[in-house]
Chain A
Amino acid sequence: MKIFKSIKWRLQIWYGLILIIVLAGFGITAYQLDRNRQFRQVDQELHRRIGVLANALHRPPQRGLNGNRPPPGQFQRGQNFDGPPPESLPPEQNFPGENFPDRNGRRFPEFTLPTQDIHFFEAIDPHHYYYRIVNRDGDQIAATTNQPDNRLHNSDNFFQPVNQVDDTVGKGGLPVKLVSYETYREAASQLPSEEIVTVGCSVAPELKDLRRTALSLLLVGGTVLIVGLAGGWWFVGRALRPVSEISATAVKISAGDLSQRINVAEAESELGQLAAVLNSTFARLETAFAQQKQFASDAAHELRTPVSVILTQTQAALNRERDAASYKQTVEACQRAAQRMRKLIESLLALARFDAGQEILKRQQFDFSKTVSDCAGLVSPLADERAVKISVEAEPIEIIGDSERLAQVVTNLLTNAIQYNKPEGEVRVKLESQNGLAVLTVADTGQGITAENLPQVFGRFFRADTSRTGAGNSGLGLAIAKAIVEAHGGTIEVTSEENAGTTFTVRLPQG
C-alpha cells in the first residue's frame, strides 16, 4: 500500500497507536484504582465484621459452637493469643466490639454467641451482610437468612480450610481469606476450633458502579482518541505542508523553471532552514545555468560573424565567373575568418579546461621580469603603430609557474593597454616584490572603464566597446588571464578612472 508509506500516514499511525496505548493505560489504571478503592472498603468492612464475629465466637461460650466445648484453657474469656496475659488486662477491654465501630460509628453489642443466635447479626444489617458458620465437615451450623440462595445450595463446597492467608484478624491473629463469588465478596476465617466463619456481602452496587465508571472511561477515552486523531491529522498535515510545497517547487524546477523559489514563511523552523538552503542552491544553479547559457550563446554569437564572412564571400564568388585575383581575394577573406574562428575556439577550449580544472601548468622556476620585458618587446610594433610609449620597470623576481601561460597574461594586458589607449598615450609596466608576492602593474592612459562596466571586465565576451575592434579581440582575453593567474594561486584586480586610465594589478606567489 503506497499510501501507508507516506510520512503523513506513518506519523498518523504511530501517533494513533501511542495515543491508544496511553489512553488504554490511563483508563485501565483509573478503573483498577477505583475498583481497588471500592473493594478495599468492602474488604475492610468484611474484615472488621469477621473480626467481631470471630472474637465473639472465640470466647469460651456457655454453649460451645455446635455444642462442642473447646479444649480447656484455649477459649477462655479474654484470651488473647498474642496479647499480654489476661490477668494484666482489665477484662472489659477485651470486648472486640468496643474497638471496632462500624461504618456508621455504631458499635456491636457484646455477646457470647450461641450458634443459633447468629441471626442476631442479621438484625443489625439485614440487607447487606450475611453470616455463615460451617463445621469442619462442611456442614452449615448456622447462617443468617439473607444469605443468598446459591450459597446455600453450594454448601457442599463450603468447607475449604483457610490455608491461603490474605490477612489476619482478631485478637488471636486468625487467618482470613478473602474470596469473590459471583457478585458476592466474602471473608472467611477459621477458628481454632476449626469452624469456619464467613461474612459476605453483595458487591452488586459496587460492580454496577464500576461498570458505570468503565463506560464513562470508554466514552471519554474514545472521544479523546477521535479528537486526538483528528487533531493529529490536521497537525501532521500542517507540519508537512512546507514539505509538500518544497517538493512541488522542486518538481517545477526539475521541469526547467529555475526561477522558482520555495516560500520561506518560517525561516526559524527546521523546514524553513531546509527551504532556505534549497533556495540558495536553486539560486546558485540558476546563476550557473544562466552563465552557461550566456556563454554558449556568446560563443555561438562570436562564431556567427566569421561564418557569415565565409558564406557571403563564397556565395558571392560563385555567383558568376571571376578572374583569379577576385578568387584570391575571396580565399584570403575566408582564411582570415577561419583564423579568427581558430583563435576563438582555442580560447574557448582553454577556458573550458580551466573551468574543468584540466589545464595542466608546466611549472618551473623562472625570472618573471624577463618574461615581462620579452612581452613588452613583443608588443612594441603595435605600440609604435598607435604611437603609444611603453615604459618597463622590473626588478628580477623568481617565481614558480608556467612561463608560457604567464607570458600570455602579460601580453594580453599589454595589448589591451595599447589598444584602449589614446594616441600618444603611455603604458607603464612595473614589477616589484611586495610581502612575498610578485606584483605586476600595467597602467594605461586611455579613456578608462566606467564604474558600471568595471565588475564585468573579467567576464566572458566582455568588451568595453560594444563592438569588436578587430579580429584579434574575442572578449575572452581577460577571462583567460584571470583563469591563468588564479590557477597559479594569484589574484588579478583592476582599478580605473574615466578619461585618466586603467590599471591592472597581478599578484603572484614568489618562488
Chain B
Amino acid sequence: MRILIVEDEPDLLASLAQALREEGYAVDTADNGDDGLFNAEGTDYDAIVLDVMLPGMDGWEILKRLRKTKKTPVLMLTARDQTRDRVKGLDTGADDYVVKPFDLEEVFARLRAIIRRSANKTTNVIEIGDVKIDTAARNVFFKDKAVEITAREYALVEFLALHRGEVVSRTQLYEHLFDENESSLSNLLDVHVSNVRKKLGAEFIATRRGHGYCIE
C-alpha cells in the first residue's frame, strides 16, 4: 500500500510518515500544495492524506483538480470541525476526514477503511481458501494458525488479496509497495513473493509469466 501525505507542518509530517511506514505502508510526502498535486496526479497511490491549510494551493483546490483525473481515496486532515467545512470536504470528493488534533490509531483505521472501500470490500477480514487476512490487526492466518510475516510481505499479500482475481503487474506492485525513496531492486520483489509462498503455500500466489502475479 502506497500512501501520499501532504502536510506543511514539518514535525507533524515527519511523525505521520514514520508511523505509517512502521505500519507497513510505503509513504511519500509533500510539504506544499503544488508538490502534493504533482505527486498525486503522477502516481497511483492507494490513499492520500491531505491537509486543508497548505502554502500555495490549499487542500480543497488539490482535491478539486485531482478528482478530474483520479479516484484515489483521500483522507482530509482539517483543523476545523465545523459542519460546513466537513460538508465542503466530502462534497468536493474527500472520502473521509479527521479533525486535528487526532489520534494516530484513528488515522490508521480511517485509512484502512477508505482503502478497503476503494477495493469494494466491506469487512476487515479477507478469506482465501486456508488463508485468512485481518487487515485491521495486520495479521495473516494459515489453517487458523497465525503466520509470522514481515510488514512488506503483509503489504504484498494484502494488496494482491484486495485485487483478488486481477493480474497485478510487477510495476504496479513496485508502485504500491515501495515509496519514491527506496531503491527497488527487481529481485527484491521476487524474494518477498517466494517468502510468502513458503509461509502460505506455493499455490497461494500464481505467477502469470510476462504479466505479473495474481491470487485466484
Whether chains A and B associate is yes
* In contact, B100 and A307 (Cβ under 8 angstroms): yes
Main DSSP-derived SS at the A contact region: helix
Q: Does B167 contact A (CB under 8 A)?
A: no
Query: What's the minimum C-beta distance from B33 to chain A, rounded to whole angstroms?
Result: 8
Q: Choose, from A189-197, A297-305, A383-391, the stretch at the interface.
A: A297-305
Q: Which residues of B contact A307 (CB under 8 A)?
A: 100-101
Q: Which residues of A contact B186 (CB under 8 A)?
A: none
Task: Indicate which residue in B15, B53, B80, B99 contacts A297 across the interface (CB closer than 8 Å).
Answer: B80
* In contact, B22 and A319 (Cβ under 8 angstroms): yes
CA distance A185 to B70 in the complex (A): 118
Q: Does B8 contact A (CB under 8 A)?
A: yes
B52-63 CB contact bits vs A (8 Å, 1 = yes)?
011110100000
A298-338 CB contact bits vs B (8 Å, 1 = yes)?
00010011011111110111011000000001100100110
Query: What's the minimum C-beta distance from A298 to chain B, rounded to whole angstroms?
Result: 10
* In contact, A466 and B15 (Cβ under 8 angstroms): no
* In contact, B101 and A304 (Cβ under 8 angstroms): yes
Q: Which residues of A contact B79 (CB under 8 A)?
A: 301, 304-305
Q: Does B91 contact A (CB under 8 A)?
A: no
* In contact, A315 and B22 (Cβ under 8 angstroms): no
Asked, given contacts A297-B82, A316-B104, whether A467 binds B53 with beta carbons under 8 Å apart, the answer is: yes
Q: Which residues of A contact B9 (CB under 8 A)?
A: 305, 308-309, 468
Q: Does B16 contact A (CB under 8 A)?
A: yes
Q: Which residues of B contact A297 (CB under 8 A)?
A: 80, 82
- The number of chain B residues touching the other chain, given as a range, is 20 to 34
* In contact, A319 and B101 (Cβ under 8 angstroms): no
* In contact, A333 and B58 (Cβ under 8 angstroms): no
Asked, given contacts A466-B53, A467-B53, whether A309 binds B104 with beta carbons under 8 Å apart, the answer is: no
A473-491 CB contact bits vs B (8 Å, 1 = yes)?
0000000000000000000
Q: Which residues of A contact B100 (CB under 8 A)?
A: 304-305, 307-308
Q: Does A273 contact B (CB under 8 A)?
A: no
Q: Which residues of B contact A44 (CB under 8 A)?
A: none
Q: Does A355 contact B (CB under 8 A)?
A: no
Q: Which of the listed residues B55, B79, B105 has the most CB atoms from chain A within 10 Å of its own CB?
A: B79
Q: Does B14 contact A (CB under 8 A)?
A: yes
* In contact, B58 and A467 (Cβ under 8 angstroms): yes
Task: Indicate which residue in B15, B16, B22, B55 contacts A465 across the interface (CB closer than 8 Å).
Answer: B55
CA distance A68 to B99 in the complex (A): 134
CA distance A277 to B101 in the complex (A): 44
Query: What's the minimum C-beta distance from B169 to chain A, rounded to whole angstroms?
Result: 33
Q: Which residues of B contact A333 (CB under 8 A)?
A: 11, 14-15
**A303: nearest chain-B partner, CB-CB:** B101
Task: Indicate which residue in B22, B54, B101 contacts A467 across the interface (CB closer than 8 Å).
Answer: B54
**B32: nearest chain-A partner, CB-CB:** A467
Q: Does B19 contact A (CB under 8 A)?
A: yes
Query: What's the minimum C-beta distance from B164 to chain A, rounded to whole angstroms?
Result: 30
Q: Does B18 contact A (CB under 8 A)?
A: yes
Q: Which residues of A contact B203 (CB under 8 A)?
A: none
* In contact, A315 and B103 (Cβ under 8 angstroms): yes
Q: Does A259 contact B (CB under 8 A)?
A: no
Query: What's the minimum C-beta distance from A2 to chain B, rounded to whole angstroms?
Result: 43
CA distance A336 to B12 in the complex (A): 11
B66-106 CB contact bits vs A (8 Å, 1 = yes)?
00000000000101101000000000000000011111110
Q: Does A281 contact B (CB under 8 A)?
A: no
**B53: nearest chain-A partner, CB-CB:** A467
CA distance A373 to B22 in the complex (A): 52
Asked, given contacts A311-B103, A311-B104, whether A319 binds B11 with beta carbons under 8 Å apart, the answer is: no
Q: Does A223 contact B (CB under 8 A)?
A: no
* In contact, B19 and A312 (Cβ under 8 angstroms): yes
Q: Which residues of B contact A310 (CB under 8 A)?
A: 101
Query: What's the minimum C-beta distance from B49 to chain A, rounded to whole angstroms?
Result: 11
* In contact, A308 and B101 (Cβ under 8 angstroms): yes
Task: Indicate which residue in B55, B99, B102 contacts A469 across the interface (CB closer than 8 Å).
Answer: B55
CA distance A304 to B53 in the complex (A): 12
CA distance A465 to B55 in the complex (A): 7
Task: Indicate which residue in A309, A315, A329, A469 contacts B19 across the interface (CB closer than 8 Å).
Answer: A315
Task: Indicate which residue in B8, B101, B103, B105 contacts A468 across the interface (CB closer than 8 Å).
Answer: B8
Q: Which residues of A contact B8 (CB under 8 A)?
A: 467-468
Query: What's the minimum C-beta distance from A475 to chain B, rounded to whole angstroms?
Result: 11
Task: Indicate which residue in B22, B54, B56 contacts A316 across the interface (CB closer than 8 Å).
Answer: B22
**A316: nearest chain-B partner, CB-CB:** B19
| Contacting residues of chain B (1-46) with chain A, CB-CB under 8 angstroms | 8-9, 11-12, 14-16, 18-19, 22
Query: What's the minimum C-beta distance from B172 to chain A, rounded to whole angstroms?
Result: 29
Asked, given contacts A297-B80, A301-B80, A308-B102, whether A313 binds B55 with beta carbons under 8 Å apart, the answer is: no
Q: Which of the listed residues B9, B54, B103, B105 has the most CB atoms from chain A within 10 Å of its own CB?
A: B9
* In contact, B53 and A312 (Cβ under 8 angstroms): no
Query: What's the minimum C-beta distance from B57 to chain A, rounded to whole angstroms?
Result: 9
CA distance A304 to B79 in the complex (A): 6
* In contact, B55 and A309 (Cβ under 8 angstroms): no
**A310: nearest chain-B partner, CB-CB:** B101
Task: Indicate which residue in B11, B22, B54 contacts A336 across the interface (CB closer than 8 Å).
Answer: B11
**B54: nearest chain-A partner, CB-CB:** A467
CA distance A58 to B12 in the complex (A): 137
CA distance A2 to B137 in the complex (A): 70
* In contact, A311 and B18 (Cβ under 8 angstroms): no
Q: Which residues of B contact A466 (CB under 8 A)?
A: 53-55, 58
* In contact, B55 and A311 (Cβ under 8 angstroms): no
| Contacting residues of chain A (330-361) with chain B, CB-CB under 8 angstroms | 330, 333, 336-337
CA distance A319 to B24 in the complex (A): 13
CA distance A312 to B55 in the complex (A): 21
* In contact, A320 and B55 (Cβ under 8 angstroms): no
* In contact, A312 and B58 (Cβ under 8 angstroms): no
Report 21 cross-chain contacts, Cβ distance below 8 Å, ordered by A residue. A297-B80, A304-B79, A308-B9, A308-B77, A308-B101, A309-B9, A309-B11, A310-B101, A311-B101, A311-B104, A312-B102, A320-B22, A333-B11, A336-B11, A465-B55, A466-B54, A466-B58, A467-B8, A467-B55, A467-B56, A467-B58
- With A301-B80, A316-B19, A319-B19 given, can you name 5 additional A-B contacts, CB distance below 8 Å? A297-B82, A309-B15, A312-B16, A317-B15, A466-B55
Residues of chain B touching chain A, judged by Cβ–Cβ distance below 8 Å, are: 8-9, 11-12, 14-16, 18-19, 22, 53-56, 58, 77, 79-80, 82, 99-105
Residues of chain A touching chain B, judged by Cβ–Cβ distance below 8 Å, are: 297, 301, 304-305, 307-313, 315-317, 319-320, 329-330, 333, 336-337, 465-469
In the A-B complex, the 4 residue pairs with the smallest Cβ-Cβ separation, listed nearest first, are A316-B19, A307-B101, A333-B11, A304-B100
